[in-house]
Structure 1
């Protein structure tokens, strides 16, 4: 047997991908009263320089938490009555016979949702807009 060498790797040799949440949690630990950056870094198996790099990224706005979705108030209002068409003849506005009214109900007005965002932007969405499209629009307005 003889000249075989065994290399044991200990410490901080591995490369790990840290999530934004993990980075911010570690930075929060460093900001606690009495915390030492070297002790926090050692506890997580990282170099102090990496913590300082994350601090710089956070200070420069490059390392930020994902926005937490929240609820916004919703107010339902009855739909606005259709405005009369200008220049329409009086015959068109005459009352409809009772039997004709029972035969076909009047068309219902389209459903509309009005969303007012905290910054005052109002968004009116008809019922034909799908949930996926609405999510994309709201994400674009928030971003």
Structure 2
């Protein structure tokens, strides 16, 4: 049976608070979730969920590049130095992430996404 929502009054569009949007996005893009199913559950269009996601991602992305610094003699890199070439990422608060050449691609991807 079809589901029909009758809206009365002057306002035809529903308003979603930032908390509601965040809750819906978390549900829609959690592992194993199907966006269409979440959209039906919260009675929102799938296109609106994708629009909210684009807006969140655009706000997170400053669109700029960070400078790359090439350092000769990476003697202070640590234990990864004996495993071959590595990428060292220095974060503003002083933390350092070292990615060696033999690191699995899935781990590199997860690390870089977490740093973003």
TM-score (norm 1): 0.35
Instruction: Name the one with the larger helix percent.
Output: 2
| Higher RCO structure, 1 or 2 (CA under 8 Å, sep 6+) | 1
TM-score (norm 2): 0.41
Structure having the higher Rg? 1
